[in-house]
């Protein structure tokens, strides 16, 4: 049974930092993609960052490059999203998602349609 659980969201001032965690169960860290997505009220879901644990490949949306870092902890079966220099426009519900390796996920790692399993989300609010 595959399960993902996000944590680490909260409220922060602009310019601050947060670290989101995605703990996953049901498969190992070495053979999956994990993606981080966000959705703000009235806006479409957008991919933020992704990691392929089999090759430690990472991917970032242009809006967060240089500010966000995705990483993994094999021992804890957890993927992290370290967010720095947060902006009000980063405010959203953040979700992690996972899937086994597939050509579609390899080709579009920041597309929500590339993922099968989703967590329930963690809220991030950045105030100006």
Query: Can you give the pLDDT at residue 28?
Result: 65
Residue 126: pLDDT band (50, 70, 90) is very high
Q: Contact, 14 vs 127, CB < 8 A?
A: yes
**pLDDT of 50 over the 80 cut:** yes
Q: Contact, 23 vs 4, CB < 8 A?
A: yes
**pLDDT of 29 over the 70 cut:** no
Q: With CA atoms as reference, report the closest residue to 79 among 123, 119, 114.
A: 119
């Amino acid at each position: 049974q595959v399960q993902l659980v996000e944590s680490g969201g909260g409220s922060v001032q602009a310019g601050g930092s947060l670290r989101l965690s995605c703990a996953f169960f049901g498969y190992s860290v070495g053979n999956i993609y994990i993606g981080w997505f966000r959705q703000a009220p009235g806006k479409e879901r957008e991919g933020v960052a992704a990691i392929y644990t089999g090759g430690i490949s990472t991917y970032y949306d242009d809006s967060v490059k240089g500010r966000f870092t995705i990483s993994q902890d094999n021992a804890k079966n957890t993927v992290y999203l370290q967010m720095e220099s947060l902006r009000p426009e980063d405010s959203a519900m953040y979700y992690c998602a996972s899937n086994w390796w597939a050509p579609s996920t390899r080709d579009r790692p920041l597309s929500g349609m590339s993922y099968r399993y989703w967590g329930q989300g963690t809220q991030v609010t950045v105030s100006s």
